[in-house]
Amino acid sequence: MRVSPFCCPVRLEIFYRRYPLSLSTSIFNTKCYSPCFYGPTPRRWKAPSANIQVGLPFRDGWVYGACGGKQRPNPAQSSARLEVIHKLTKPGSRFVPQITDRVGQGGPFPPLGPSVKALLIWPRFPASFWSFEGILDIVPIETDQPPLGLLTVAALCPKNWTLRLIDRGFEELQDADILWADLVMVSGMRVQKEDIQETLIRARELGRRTMIGGPFASSEPELLLQFADHVVVGEPDEVFPEIAADIERGSAKSLYVVTEKPDVSKSPLPRFDLLKIEKYASMAVQFSRGCPFQCEFCDIITIYGRKPRTKSPAQLIAELNALYELGWREQVFIVDDNFIGNHKRAFELSLELRQWQESRGYPMLLYTEASVDLAQKPELIKAMVDANFFYVFIGIESPSPTSLTEAKKYQNLRRDPLESIRFIQSEGLWVTAGFIVGFDSDTEEIFDLQAEFIEAAAIPWAMVGFLQAPPTTPLFDRMMNEGRLLMESTATSNFDPPNFETLLPLPVLLKGFRKVLASIYAPSAFYERSYRSLLQWKARKPQKASKIPFVPLMGIVIRSILHQGIRSSYRKSYWKFLWRLLSRWPFNGAKFSLGFAMLLSGHHFIRYANTVVDDLDCELERIRTEELAADLRRETAAAL
């Protein structure tokens, strides 16, 4: 059995992708927590029925004249990116047939024939809050989760295609790998932008056909058309066979825009057999896409819809069976953006999962993310606990009712959030959560309120990030219409400043955020909060942690003592927490396992938080220097 002693909440940024939003694991995409920020990448697109050329980086409203000159944004012309793309589609068509001014290699594309060799590449992620890179010195794993979207695409490929998968999280991409392929297929999010572009450029230089899909491609297609031969926008579950046929017979288009939401109950079983399964800390499966709520900053509802679409319980059980047959006995992340978006179906699934787990001795520890109104569904919580769910990620965002109202996160206002978190913990689910600063309603008091809430709720893995305005969201539209959108923003993580002008002055926002991060991830605060979270979490039967063989476990313990208990600057807090864990829960498998995960995770969170704090100090110093220089220029001008 492979070793995975900790319950990593994820990517997916649920690393990169969850503090202001979380893109669901759809085709060409795998779950991760990321704000997915997008910078301006305008290119002139020629609409068949228009004389003007429209820039489509995202809903920025910039219009390009016949000479390509950039004009001021006009709200009347700031059509949604997808609305503009829709104008390029034929009536009744499910995807765009072709664009007229293609960037990149010239078409038409030659046929690749029926026996295509396709290389599927999952780009590398940079270090992040949820990457847990800090504990790779301790735990013998290579990366967090597999690219579930690419595995689903693989299942949609024709049976006569030959497929290989390279996960850049732990594998190097050699020229020989690219030269083996007829078609290089890439997916990813904007946070993976650098490796995406490098991969596509290498493949093009080696003369190989390239295709990209996923959230980055769906948000900035014209940027990626500069690097890829084929860009797929949207969820192509139901039309991918047609795209594959185009590739084979030489009629492939540069751009495919899928406008219909597919029926996920028809989604095929992902190709888990393509994985080097022993390299991962967790596996990933998906039950639903979409979310019923209307948070202003979240693009799930604009991209995937407000009506959750679910698989059948039998489908998900089949996916778990496939993993089981491959020997997987560790944790599994159900990557839904909101597992309880359709709470009735989630309840049905949980009941089925309990029977499946019970019949096999509870081989898999489950975790997911859900809205805080889970607290109002005790029967569902019980069913999840009985199915061996251990913990859940919840978007709390803010303890301020005013900020929650501004964000239209009304589901968090139905009950006191702190009371809700404590209820969920008491009913058997450990809680990790996301928090946001930078709302218009936020005052300078918000930073103390956030830190106090995190401590009171005893949430060890608390991801605090800046509010962002992702493309396609109502917040993006509002910032654009108010003239506050920072089009030059290149932010790619939840610790980057907002991509719009905040009402709180930027130095105040940065200093306040720095204060929160330094406070909650001070070693003594982190481990004390971890201990209290175990006290508040009422683990119960049949919750069962994954077992670690004795010899690998001893290796982890020895490396932990060496790196954390001897060499680290926080060793005093480390030993105190370890003693509490050993003396209080030595025979409670569930609590000891999760406590041990928190013990190890300190090696990542404490150090990563210190890195971010240092970066914020540098940014604040840069702002201060610029302000002093501006003052000097004004004084010099006045003297002249």
Q: Tens digits of per-residue pLDDT, 303-334? A: 788 899 999 999 999 999 999 999 999 999 99
Long-range pairs for 399-404: beta carbons < 8 A, 24 or more residues apart: 399/449, 399/450, 399/452, 399/453, 400/439, 400/441, 400/442, 400/446, 400/449, 402/441, 403/439, 403/441, 403/442, 403/446
- With a CB cutoff of 8 Å and minimum separation 6, the contacts of 106 are none
Residue 156 has pLDDT above 60, yes or no: yes
**Position with higher pLDDT, 592 vs 42:** 592
Q: Which of 275, 273, 272, 283 is nearest to 7 (CA)?
A: 283
Instruction: Give percent of the chain with pLDDT exceeding 90.
Output: 73
**Nearest-CA neighbor of 214 among 244, 191, 245?**
191
Q: Does residue 557 carry a pLDDT above 70? A: yes
**Would you list the DSSP string of 391-420?**
EEEEEEE-S-HHHHHHTT-GGGSSS-HHHH
Tell me what pLDDT residue 31 has: 35
Instruction: Kindly state the average pLDDT of the residues 120-139.
Output: 84
Amino acid identity for residue 161 in this structure? W
- When pLDDT is cut at 50, 70 and 90, the band that residue 492 belongs to is low
**Token match 């795998």: residue?**
30
630 or 23, which is more confident? 630
How would residue 1 be classed by pLDDT, with cut points 50, 70 and 90?
A: very low
| Distance from C-alpha of 439 to C-alpha of 418, rounded to nearest angstrom | 20
For residue 602, give Cα distances in angstroms to 280, 433, 559, 561, 578.
20, 16, 14, 13, 12
Are residues 319 and 489 in contact, defined by beta-carbon separation less than 8 angstroms? no
Query: What is 264-536's CATH number?
Result: 3.80.30.20
Could you give the residue range(s) of every CATH 3.80.30.20 domain in the chain? 264-536
pLDDT over threshold 90, residue 373: yes
**Residue 593: pLDDT above 90?**
yes
| pLDDT top residue among 25 and 123 | 123
What's the pLDDT band for 107 if we cut at 50, 70, 90?
A: low
CA atoms 567, 12, 298, 459: torsion sign = negative
Q: Tell me the pTM.
A: 0.84
Q: For residue 470, what are the contacts with CB-CB under 8 A and spacing of at least 6?
A: 20, 21, 35, 36, 37, 38, 219, 297, 298, 299, 476
Mean pLDDT of the chain: 84
List C-alpha distances in Å: 80 to 172, 302, 477, 560: 38, 11, 9, 51
In this prediction, residues 118-140 reach a mean pLDDT of 86
Query: What are the pLDDT digits (tens) for 439-477?
Result: 999 999 999 999 999 999 999 999 999 999 988 799 999
